[in-house]
Amino acid sequence: MARKNLTITLHISEMIYDIQNKTFLTGRSKRDDGNHDKAAYMQANNDEEELNQILRSIGDHYNKLRSILSEYIEDSSSTASNNLISSSSNITLALSMPENYNSASANTIATEAHQYIVNKSIADWFDITNREGSATYLEKSQENVHNLIRSIHQRKRPVRS
């Protein structure tokens, strides 16, 4: 069966921004409740230790995403590494899709992949800094996986010749 190539590029800087922004807003809402110390700890920022933790989570969840999409991943490499990814780099998913895959779902796949990594990384962050907030982001990440799989399986209707 003929295949169609789909390349998804995820920008790590955008994921870091989303993680920092969402943790900031969540922390600010806690601060408004009068819990200033807890609010300060749950807000991810660019301190080296915090950024390294975020980058490690992004890398871990990117690899999990690759596993989820393994049926469609086109990768001939025979090496692997657990090096910390760079905040200025991009990560790419090269997917080999069936010929009747509906390309209109490509942006949804990119968005859900981005949100999956962001939500899982925030869940990791909150597991350290705000345990009660972690479950919410785990649930969101499961919804992202569901939407991602549904989008991957979108097909064009056959046309009678």
- In this prediction the pTM is 0.88
**Average pLDDT score over residue span 97-122:** 95
Tokens of 65: 């995403």
For residue 106, is it within any domain?
yes
Look at residue 43 and tell me whether its pLDDT is greater than 80. no
pLDDT per position as a tens digit, 69-80: 999 998 766 566
What is the distance between the alpha carbons of residues 22 and 130, in angstroms, rounded to a whole number? Answer: 13
What pLDDT, on a 0 to 100 scale, did the predictor assign at position 114? 98
> Residue 34 region, left (φ>0) first, then alpha (ψ -120 to 50), else beta?
left
Please report whether residue 159 resides in a domain: no
Note whether residue 160 is domain-resident: no
pLDDT at 36 over 70: no
Whether 126 is covered by a domain: the verdict is yes
Please count the structural domains in the chain.
1
CA dist 3 and 77 (Å) reads: 20
- Asked if pLDDT for residue 131 goes beyond 60, the answer is yes
Give pLDDT, residue 1. 67
Q: Whose CA is closest to 73, among 95, 52, 58?
A: 95
Is residue 66 one of the residues assigned to a domain? yes
Q: Which two tokens mark 58?
A: 């992004």
Look at residue 102 and tell me if it is in a domain.
yes
Asked if residue 19 is part of any domain, the answer here is yes
Q: Look at residues 98, 108, 107 and name the one whose alpha carbon lies nearest to residue 158.
A: 98
Domain containing 61 equals: 3-76+84-152
Q: Give domain status of residue 20, yes or no.
A: yes
